[in-house]
Amino acid sequence: MEEVLKTLDKVTQAQVPILISGETGSGKELLARALHQNGPRKNARFVAINCSAFTETILESELFGYLKGAFTGADQDRRGLFEEANGGTLFLDEVADMSLTMQAKLLRVLQEKEVLRVGGHTPVKVDVRVLSASNKELKKMVREGTFREDLYFRIAGMTIGIPPLRERKEDIPLLVKHFLEKIKKENHLLARQHPRTRTMPDKRLSPCRGGRGPSRTYPSSKGPLPAGHGYRADGWRRDPVRFGQEDGPV
């Protein structure tokens, strides 16, 4: 992971498109956000979309927008994500899952730096830095003819590979802390006070009791951590070795 961070330092100020590769759950979007937040476009929007979550027609309207009456249900004009991210960064997650037709349309946008809304005839100029990510080997897909070679070179001005989490267990506490803070913010949760001092603990997360770091191997996943992973959302810690016994404060 140290090599990834060194590469990150070199490219944050660049405008070159970057392809991030790695297994699902390895932190590709977090890296993309770090590139944006430390780069020259940090004051503009960071917009992300999972390309595998939409059908071809819906993905087109999501990326490029549409005009009123373009299709059933289009009761008003709508800007696409390229326009929403104008001046900022657009993150295309799982870009390998795009159909060849959508790949051709995306290629045109990247070449011409303009989008054509669904149902429209007037192109709209956009200035967007595109970051892409995939858990598949795009070079192999290019050889197999399932991914356009010209698009590959458009989105992969530089490639960054993220090692799977099982190979960088020292990052687990940091990731747990990040997601705990995110969950607490989204659900308006407050950290519990210390039972004796009635003050908020300064440390919300720490390694397992006795200095033991994470030792179990879990498959990469975007889902929740397995039960008994050693931490709770209220800022207290559970010893995974003594699971089911008394919890202790952080």
Q: Distance between CA 21 and CA 23 in Å, rounded?
A: 7
Position with higher pLDDT, 82 vs 219: 82
**Burial profile 198-212: b = 16 or more Cβ within 10 angstroms, e = fewer:** eeebeebbeebeeee
pLDDT tens-digit series, residues 166-192: 777 777 787 788 778 878 888 887 655
Position with higher pLDDT, 14 vs 239: 14
Q: Where are the domains of the chain?
A: 2-163, 166-250
DSSP per-residue string spanning 159-199: EEEPPPGGG-GGGHHHHHHHHHHHHHHHTT--PPPPTTT-S
At residue 216 the predicted structure's pLDDT band, cuts being 50, 70 and 90, is low
Assess whether pLDDT exceeds 80 at residue 4. Answer: no
At residue 210 the predicted structure's pLDDT band, cuts being 50, 70 and 90, is very low
pLDDT tens-digit series, residues 113-172: 999 999 999 999 999 999 999 999 999 999 999 999 999 999 999 898 888 877 777 777
Amino acid symbol at 24: T
How far out from the chain centre does Cα 250 lie? 29
Assess whether pLDDT exceeds 50 at residue 52. Answer: yes
Q: What share of the chain in percent tops pLDDT 90?
A: 46
Q: Distance between CA 65 and CA 120 in Å, rounded?
A: 9
Q: CA torsion sign, 133 to 29 to 230 to 207?
A: positive
Q: Show Cβ contacts of residue 41 under 8 Å, excluding neighbours closer than 6 positions.
A: 87, 88, 89, 129
Question: What local confidence, expressed as pLDDT, does residue 230 receive?
Answer: 41
Assess whether pLDDT exceeds 60 at residue 47. Answer: yes
Question: What local confidence, expressed as pLDDT, does residue 46 receive?
Answer: 96
At residue 93 the predicted structure's pLDDT band, cuts being 50, 70 and 90, is very high
Record: fold of 2-163: Rossmann fold (3.40.50)
Query: What tokens appear for 236 in the block?
Result: 């207290």
Assess whether pLDDT exceeds 60 at residue 198. Answer: no
Question: What local confidence, expressed as pLDDT, does residue 179 receive?
Answer: 78
Assess whether pLDDT exceeds 70 at residue 91. Answer: yes
pLDDT tens-digit series, residues 57-77: 999 999 999 999 888 888 889
At residue 193 the predicted structure's pLDDT band, cuts being 50, 70 and 90, is low
Question: What local confidence, expressed as pLDDT, does residue 196 receive?
Answer: 59
Assess whether pLDDT exceeds 70 at residue 97. Answer: yes
Q: Are 166 and 214 in contact (CB under 8 A)?
A: no
Question: What local confidence, expressed as pLDDT, does residue 12 receive?
Answer: 73
Amino acid symbol at 137: E
